Structure 1
Amino acid sequence: MYHQQSTADKSDFYDKEHLAANIALSQNMNKKIPVGVVIQQEGKIDGKNIYKFLIGMIYSWYDGFFIIQIANDKKLININRSESGIKNILTFNNQNMLQQEFDFKNIVDARKQQQRAIIVRQGQASFRNKLLDVYDKTCAISKVNVESALEAAHIFPYMGKETNVSSNGLLLRSDLHLLFDKKLIRINNEYIVEVDPILVNSVYGKYDGVSLQLPKNMNDYPNKKALASHYDSCDF
């Protein structure tokens, strides 16, 4: 977890779009460009600091931190992991639960952790509630209205409070949210859904060419610049 560059007044939700280091890291994240990572090690040699030079991939930005996975000789970086997937790993580690002694307290703790993971996966509570209202508790693509299956999707990746606006969000069924994050579904400037050709012969093929369900208020319509940014980042 690498904390973003800060301004002199430490305004966390201002500098990421104005300071060069954060702009560059955001571009690396969005375009899936690897970054060099330098980590200072403990101790010194001949009175000099020791550093490790590594390479990694930025997955997302979360609460002031860029989330970076480091490549090593045992495991390659999974560049297809979704933003929701990395947040799930950060908030709920099943392997840790397996290593704990089985008792009632662990079950209760696991449920609490699992609930927190669901909240993160579905989107920040206030942002999700806003989209549930704007989209009348209905998936913008599938038109499914099962509230527990709906998640708040960011069009432009979450980069702080100011990206939690309705025009930068879509209310999507959880599986469609994942496909949107993985750049296998995109939306053009006419608000028409386009599906990656690899999915055309799957159950998701029926959504290719579907018109997005839009909010009643035009101010809440998905921002076309944000949609264009996501659209251009897709490979199909």
Structure 2
Amino acid sequence: MKSRKSGKRKVLVDVRIGQDGFRKDLLDRYGLVCAVTGECPGEVLQAAHLRAFSKFQRHVVTEGLLLRSDIHRLFDTARMTIEPRDRTLLVHPGLMGFAEYARFAGQRLAIADGLLLDLEVLIEHHAEVTGGWA
């Protein structure tokens, strides 16, 4: 059996200023609720930006959701998005063979209707993500 290198290395990373506050604001707004899967432990909830933070460099609560870590990864890799008009989930066709994720297709967000997301941002995210699904 081949052995892999192990140990440590030093790296220089950028830290998002305000990310902890953004997560706290989202927790205050939504509670311990993943917008896709529903109630879950806080340890797996991540503060997600519908507009790429790397591009816009800002934390706006109406442009954010709490997402379970695996769901967050799927949003960030353009494998899931939200239909802006009815707030239902769209799942990339390549995920439909995975029952755990296919079951979310067409499901409404698991957040209260009164907690609105920025419609313009939802439209942008939807267009950007589904535009690459051809």
- Scaled to the shorter chain, the TM-score interval is 0.7 to 0.9
* Whole-Å separation in 1 of the counterparts to 2:37 and 2:72: 11
Q: Post-superposition, which runs of at least 4 consecutive aligned residues in structure 1 deviate over 6 A?
A: none
Give the RMSD, CA atoms, in angstroms: 2.7
Q: Looking at both structures, which has the greater relative contact order when contacts are Cα pairs under 8 Å and sequence separation is at least 6? A: 2
1:210 aligns with 2:120: no
Number of the residue aligned with 1:31: none
Number of the residue aligned with 2:19: 124
What does the per-residue CA deviation read over 1:181-221, in whole Å, with 9 as the maximum and x for residues that have no partner?
Answer: 111000011100010010012021111111002346x4x42
* Whole-Å separation in 2 of the counterparts to 1:210 and 1:233: 20
Paired AA for residue 129 in structure 1: K
Tell me, which stretches of 5 or more residues in structure 1 are unaligned?
A: 1-94, 101-115
Answer whether contact 1:144 1:173 (CA < 8 A) is retained.
no
| TM-score using structure 2 length | 0.78
Aligned positions of 1:25-104 closer than 5 A: 98=8
Aligned pair in 2 of structure 1 residues 197, 129: CA closer, same or farther (>3 Å)? same
Picking from 92, 96, 116, the partner of 1:200 is 96
Number of the residue aligned with 1:165: 60
Task: Name the one with the larger strand percent.
Answer: 1
Query: Offset at 1:156?
Result: 0.9
Tell me, which stretches of 5 or more residues in structure 2 are unaligned?
A: none
Aligned-pair identity (%): 29
Aligned pair in 2 of structure 1 residues 222, 97: CA closer, same or farther (>3 Å)? farther
Number of the residue aligned with 2:122: 227
Q: Which of 1 and 2 has greater Rg?
A: 1
Aligned pair in 2 of structure 1 residues 97, 142: CA closer, same or farther (>3 Å)? same
Answer whether contact 2:34 2:45 (CA < 8 A) is retained.
yes
* Whole-Å separation in 1 of the counterparts to 2:6 and 2:60: 35
SS at match of 2:28: helix
